[in-house]
Amino acid sequence: MQIDYYPKYIVDACVMLAYTDEKEPHHAEALDFFVQLDSFAKSGKRVEMVIPAHFYLEVNLNVMRKRRDAQNGSIAYKFRNSQEGVSARTPYPITPLLMKQIEERGLYEKFAFKLKVGDFIYAAIAYLESIPLVTLDKTDFTKVATDVKVIFLTP
């Protein structure tokens, strides 16, 4: 799937998890997304992945669980901190200021009954920063796609 260019994307942990495990059903879509980001960067376009602080917890916990549950005890965790020309800035902080912005913009009311906490954080940051949210999770993020630009990597 061809994605549109944006200078920033917020990337859901499920995309990274699919990228890191070739056995995941949507590995090819996640891999293609990162290849496209790399292509944008190589053509001279600025590309930044906005990564919420909890992203690292989600990815690492899931990788650890998969390693424990895998028959062979290993999984290929191959994400580099930054691809050539694609930056992943320091984790987007979840601070009292962010919580204040969420409250002031009415995002608790807008998303509260639609998303779980982790997904709420992705949607809130995408909304506040006016950047697209990249995900494989149509079930949850379709609920907020009228308020947030969502790029679904699956058809």
Range of lowest pLDDT (35-39, 53-57, 66-70, 107-111): 66-70
Using CA atoms, how far apart are residues 67 and 64, in angstroms rounded to an integer?
5
| Mean pLDDT of the region 80-87 | 47
**CATH architecture of the domain formed by 8-152:** 3-Layer(aba) Sandwich (3.40)
The yes-or-no verdict on residue 69 having pLDDT over 90 is no
Tell me phi and psi for residue 134, to 5 degrees. -100, 125
Residue showing tokens 């992945």: 49
**What's the whole-model pTM score?**
0.86
The yes-or-no verdict on residue 72 having pLDDT over 60 is no
Give the model's pLDDT for residue 155.
84
CB–CB of 122/133 below 8 Å?
A: yes
**Paired residues of 133 in beta bridges:** 10, 150
pLDDT band (50, 70, 90) for residue 91: confident
Tell me phi and psi for residue 24, to 5 degrees. -65, 140
Residue type for position 72: N
